[in-house]
Amino acid sequence: MREKLASALKEAMKAKEAARLSTLRLINAAIKDREIALRSEGEGATVGDAEIMAILSKMVKQRQESARAYEEGGRLELAEKELAEIAVIEEFLPRQLTPEEVEAAIAAAIEKLGATSIRDMGRVMGELKAAHTGQMDFGSVGPKVKERLS
């Protein structure tokens, strides 16, 4: 993942793509911030691919919220900038699952674990996160799992 980011950064520099370069630098800064936080906690100073995926997902979610706020405020040029950043970040994330695929993944996790009640929700969410990190929005998946288990 790091090599992919580094090569994209170099390509953006060579092509003089200022907006793309800026977004890639933001991604690298977020990863470095996380490494610094880990160092201060006394853990290993390297961030793995799974954690990079989580950082990228969080960045996409932040930009979606910002774009929505800008659109509501009538600042369309800023909303477009946020949406352009989302497009660059999503290049490094796995393909997002369709709503049908999300429903199928929830059903498969519930069946695999033999989940029957709301008490099993944590286990089901853990299974989904292990199998589909970066492929679905777990904020919207939680209520769906809860609905299935209640």
Domain containing residue 48:
2-90
pLDDT of residue 95: 83
**Same-domain status, 21 and 83:** yes
Average pLDDT over residues 135-148: 87
**Same-domain status, 75 and 124:** no
Average pLDDT over residues 17-44: 88
Residue 138 has pLDDT above 70, yes or no: yes
**Same-domain status, 7 and 52:** yes
Q: What CATH number does the domain containing 141 carry?
A: 1.10.10
**Same-domain status, 118 and 75:** no
CA distance 131 to 74: 39
**Same-domain status, 21 and 75:** yes
Query: What is the number of structural domains in the chain?
Result: 2
**Same-domain status, 106 and 38:** no
**Same-domain status, 74 and 124:** no
Residue 38 · residue 44 · CB < 8 Å: yes
